[in-house]
Amino acid sequence: MKANPIEDQTQKFEKGLKSSGAEQYVLRLYVTGTTAKSVQAITNIKRVCEQHLKGRYALEVVDIYQRPVLAKTEQIIAAPTLVKLLPSPLKKMIGNLANTERVLLGLDLRPKEGGAEK
Amino acid sequence: MKAKAKRNAEPVSEALEKAAMGIPGLDEITGGGLPKGRPTLICGSAGCGKTVLSMEFLVRGAVEQGEPGVFMAFEETEEDLTKNVASLGFNLRTLTAQKKVVVDYVHIERSEIEETGEYDLEGLFIRLGHAIDSIGAKRVVLDTIEALFVSLPNEAILRAELRRLFRWLKDKGVTAIITAERGQEAFTRHGLEEYVADCVILLDHRINDQISTRRLRVVKYRGSIHGTNEYPFMIGKEGVSVLPITSLGLEHAASELRISSGVPRLDAMLGGKGYYRGSSVLVSGTAGSGKSSLAAAFVDAAARRGERCLYFAFEESQSQILRNMRSIGIDLEPAVRAGLVQFHAARPTLCGLEMHLLEIHDAIRKLKPKVVVIDPVTNLMSTGTGNEVKSMLTRLIDCFKTEQITAFFTSLTSGESAPEQTEVGVSSLMDTWLLARNIEANGERNRGLYVLKSRGMPHSNQIREFVLSSQGIQLLDVYVGGDTLLTGSARLAQESREKAAASQRQQEIARRSRELEREGQAIEAQIATLRAGLEAKAEQFKLEIAQDSRRQTALLEAEMKIGRSRMADSAMGLGGKHKPQRNGV
């Protein structure tokens, strides 16, 4: 029962890897109302996504003031936090996403130093 | 009293309000609890009980004070926490279901985190705020918020946010505990004491001679007086207990009642009535001087009066004591079976001093005994330094006195030290001090006992020989001959000598009295002879007088006959009689 979805995911992942640069990105940005940092974060992630992930991303912006329960279930401490749900591994980027280099690194859109691993 | 209470009430409203911890002892030290509506820092090294203490604060607040609480855990998951505190008797699951406690586990995986710019910890604030609002929490625990320093890279932001967090907690009006790891030089590794400065409690876990003791100290408490000492504490089956459990005042009432020591002769030595109820009795002596036997006699007497007794044995097991005491005619078994006498036998090195003290307290609370025996108190020495033991005993005695429990301590004196000195230095705390000593003479060793002091009663100043036999404990007079004491067989010899001398004396007296009697009888006989002689003489005398008067009469008659024959004038009578007589002469 349980084995199937995992297998499916693995297959999907491997397929995705093969068709490189074509993975679907599922992102969720947790913000706190309309604070300066929140607004900056939204602007920044939109820019990055449009530039690098055009057409293959889903971005959801969540205001944790509105949905505080999510802060607990999703283990959100810092705000703003961008969570990369897919492709795995899960990654959390905290801050207003002003440092584009680091955002790209977090989104696995920049090859890490030392070349490709595996 | 009422006026006093009113006078006291006014400044209280001005003074700091406190949130009771509900932890025995800690509320006394802090004068009522933690500062209400303010954060308190609890710091200590790993494994010293920070989590347990703060969890107990939360649970007791929720259950006993009606103050719901939020526990924000940074190190343990909800599952682990629930399991861990279940061993202390707290059921977190039930409390969570009843909306009395919320546990929020904050987990940050360092490898998942990428810092991409400016941020704040608003997420944490929202989580905490939501948890507080969801149950109307009055208490909050952050355990251990320092974990954030490991997970979040930007220390400057973190510090600023923590400062904001503590201020925010204060504004919320919740009583908060923030736990932190002990740092090398400062109280905490990351200097949290800079932000949380209202109350700082330091926990410590020290090992002395392989025995660990937990200690607690209130380092700082703004706006309140507090105990400044280091207090030992224990994490027991029912959570944290801090000593002192009792106040250290000297306010106990002194009883006038007297109870028997179980040895009639000893009662006689103590003014004829025995110990005071609620007093503390110490018996000191070298090994084998009969201390435990005196204790058993006392317990036996108490059980016979129907009083409950607690016997803390640090040297022998229960069955060993029962067997040994049977050999001197004290059978405690029926009392044990009836539940009147309870034994607590443990090696003193089993746990630290404070653990023993708390165990004693616990046992007292459960059994509510009238008599407690600690045999021997000197064995506790091995679990702490002299000062610690003394302060522990002070507390213990204080507790006994307030509960009106008569406490019986035995103290083992080693051969070298003076018998008038107890190793734990507690003799000054005792009301009655009996000294059992071995008297060695004539190649034997005998037991002696005397009352060194006994407050508030006249007591004998004599040494008694203390004999243990199958008939029980007996105290006998010792013989003081010349400058030595006679005990044992020497006493018996002296006794028989005296008996012989006494019987000799008695015989002499009997002889003398018989002699005297005989002498008296002889004299009586002599008197009788003399009296008989006298009577015979008197008889003779009477006879002579009678003869004489008969002769006279006869003479007179003869004269008258002659006269009659001469003159025949009988009418002249006597006169006539005289004349012829004169004429005749």
Chosen domain end from B414, B446, B480? B480
Same domain, B52 and B136: yes
The reported pLDDT for the residue numbered B250 is 61
Cβ atoms of B186 and B196 closer than 8 Å: no
Residue B557 counted as domain residue: yes
- Residue ranges of the domains in chain A? 23-106
B115/A94 touch (CB, cutoff 8 Å), yes or no = yes
The reported pLDDT for the residue numbered B284 is 85
pLDDT tens string B196-248: 778 888 888 877 766 677 888 888 888 887 777 778 787 777 777 776 645 55
Residue B3 counted as domain residue: no
A93/B114 touch (CB, cutoff 8 Å), yes or no = yes
Same domain, B434 and B290: yes
Same domain, B205 and B303: no
Give the minimum alpha-carbon distance from B195 to chain A in angstroms, rounded to a whole number.
20
DSSP states of B42-54: EEESTTSSHHHHH
Give the minimum alpha-carbon distance from B57 to chain A in angstroms, rounded to a whole number.
23
pLDDT higher than 70, residue B574: no
A99/B117 touch (CB, cutoff 8 Å), yes or no = yes
Q: Which residue has the higher pLDDT, B318 or B358?
A: B318
CATH of the domain at B218: 3.40.50.300
B117/A71 touch (CB, cutoff 8 Å), yes or no = no
Closest-CA residue to B139 (of B18, B12, B14, B15): B18
The reported pLDDT for the residue numbered A115 is 41
Q: Which residue has the higher pLDDT, B310 or A8?
A: B310
How buried is B582 (Cβ within 10 angstroms: 0-12 exposed, 13-18 middle, 19+ buried)? exposed
A98/B116 touch (CB, cutoff 8 Å), yes or no = yes
Residue B555 counted as domain residue: yes
* Residue partners of B535: CB distance under 8 A and separation at least 6: none
Structural domains of chain B, count: 3
In one-letter notation, the amino acid at residue B132 is I
Same domain, B414 and B356: yes
Residue B390 counted as domain residue: yes
| E strand or H helix at B72 | strand B69-73
Q: Compute how many other C-beta atoms are within 10 angstroms of the C-beta atom of residue B318.
A: 17
Query: Mean per-residue pLDDT for B161-169?
Result: 88
Residue B249 counted as domain residue: no
- Across the interface, which of A69, A75, A105 has its CB nearest the CB of B108? A75
The reported pLDDT for the residue numbered B3 is 44
Work out whether strand B464-469 and strand B444-454 pair parallel, antiparallel, or are unpaired. antiparallel
pLDDT higher than 80, residue B505: yes
**3-class DSSP state for residue A116?**
coil
Query: Mean per-residue pLDDT for B259-280?
Result: 86
Give the minimum alpha-carbon distance from B39 to chain A in angstroms, rounded to a whole number.
20
Size of interface A-B (CB pairs under 8 A): 104
Q: Compute how many other C-beta atoms are within 10 angstroms of the C-beta atom of residue B496.
A: 10
What is the band of B268 on the pLDDT scale with cuts at 50, 70, 90? Answer: confident
Residue found by looking up tokens 């936090």 in the block = A81
Assigned token pair, B514? 């018989």
A81/B115 touch (CB, cutoff 8 Å), yes or no = no
Per cent of chain B over pLDDT 90 is 11
Give the minimum alpha-carbon distance from B1 to chain A in angstroms, rounded to a whole number.
52
CATH topology of domain A23-106: Glutaredoxin (3.40.30)
Closest-CA residue to B293 (of B427, B474, B129): B474
Cβ atoms of B432 and B275 closer than 8 Å: yes
Q: Which residues pair with B142 in a beta bridge?
A: B72, B178
d(CA B349, CA A45): 64
B124/A78 touch (CB, cutoff 8 Å), yes or no = yes
Cβ atoms of B139 and B70 closer than 8 Å: yes
What is the band of B1 on the pLDDT scale with cuts at 50, 70, 90? Answer: very low
d(CA B468, CA B71): 62
pLDDT tens string B543-560: 999 999 999 999 999 988
Selected residue of A27, A77, A81, A91 to mutate for chain B interface (largest B Cβ count, 10 A): A77
Q: Which residues pair with B34 in a beta bridge?
A: B19
From residue A46, alpha-carbon distances to A83, B59, B201, B347 in Å are 14, 46, 49, 71
Assigned token pair, B123? 């997420």
Cβ atoms of B436 and B288 closer than 8 Å: no
Same domain, B73 and B144: yes
A99/B127 touch (CB, cutoff 8 Å), yes or no = no
| E strand or H helix at B343 | strand B341-345
In one-letter notation, the amino acid at residue B522 is A
Cβ atoms of B234 and B213 closer than 8 Å: no
What is the band of B12 on the pLDDT scale with cuts at 50, 70, 90? Answer: very low
DSSP states of B278-333: T-EEEEEESTTSSHHHHHHHHHHHHHHTT--EEEEESSS-HHHHHHHHHTTT---H
Q: Which residues pair with B451 in a beta bridge?
A: B434
* Residue partners of B489: CB distance under 8 A and separation at least 6: B442, B444
Predicted interface score ipTM higher than 0.90: no
Tell me what the pLDDT averaged over chain B comes to. Answer: 81
Among B16-30, B210-224, B507-521, the range of highest mean pLDDT: B507-521
Q: Which of residues 20-49 of A touch B (CB under 8 A)?
A: 30, 32, 35, 37, 40-41, 44
pLDDT higher than 90, residue B540: yes
| E strand or H helix at A24 | none
Closest-CA residue to B423 (of B431, B432, B413): B413
Assigned token pair, B69? 């609480």
Closest-CA residue to B32 (of B3, B12, B48): B12
Q: Which residues pair with B276 in a beta bridge?
A: B258
From residue B405, alpha-carbon distances to B107, B310, B433 in Å are 52, 10, 17
Query: Mean per-residue pLDDT for B102-107?
Result: 87
Same domain, B443 and B399: yes
Same domain, B325 and B462: yes
How far out from the chain centre does Cα B271 lie?
19
**3-class DSSP state for residue B57?**
helix
A79/B113 touch (CB, cutoff 8 Å), yes or no = no
Query: Mean per-residue pLDDT for B361-367?
Result: 82
The angle at the Cα of B344, spanning B342 to B349, to the nearest 5 degrees, equals: 170
B575 near A CB under 8 A: no
Query: Mean per-residue pLDDT for B355-365?
Result: 79
Assigned token pair, B380? 């506790």
What is the band of B382 on the pLDDT scale with cuts at 50, 70, 90? Answer: low
Query: Mean per-residue pLDDT for B309-321?
Result: 88
pLDDT higher than 90, residue B507: yes
B257 HSE (CA, 13 A, CB side):
9
Owning domain of residue B230: 16-242
Query: Mean per-residue pLDDT for B248-256?
Result: 69
pLDDT higher than 80, residue B249: no
Residue B1 counted as domain residue: no
Same domain, B160 and B264: no
- Across the interface, which of A68, A77, A98 has its CB nearest the CB of B108? A77
Give the minimum alpha-carbon distance from A6 to chain B in angstroms, rounded to a whole number.
21
pLDDT tens string B392-431: 777 788 888 888 889 998 888 766 555 555 555 677 778 8
Same domain, B143 and B45: yes
H helix runs in B343-487, sequence order: 353-367, 386-402
Cβ atoms of B412 and B286 closer than 8 Å: yes
Residue B252 counted as domain residue: no
Residue B445 counted as domain residue: yes
**Chain A: residue whose CA lies nearest to B104:** A72
The angle at the Cα of A53, spanning A48 to A56, to the nearest 5 degrees, equals: 140
* Residue partners of B373: CB distance under 8 A and separation at least 6: B295, B298, B299, B309, B310, B311, B312, B407, B408, B409, B410
Same domain, B318 and B460: yes
Chosen domain end from B242, B266, B301? B242
Cβ atoms of B377 and B400 closer than 8 Å: no
Q: Give the helix, strand, coil percentages of chain B, each rounded to 5.
A: 45, 25, 30
Contacts of A76 in chain B (CB under 8 A): 123, 127
pLDDT higher than 70, residue B433: yes
Same domain, B531 and B420: no
Same domain, B43 and B101: yes
In one-letter notation, the amino acid at residue B165 is L
Assigned token pair, B175? 């009583």
What is the band of A112 on the pLDDT scale with cuts at 50, 70, 90? Answer: low
Closest-CA residue to B296 (of B321, B320, B273): B321
From residue A5, alpha-carbon distances to A2, A10, A85 in Å are 6, 9, 16
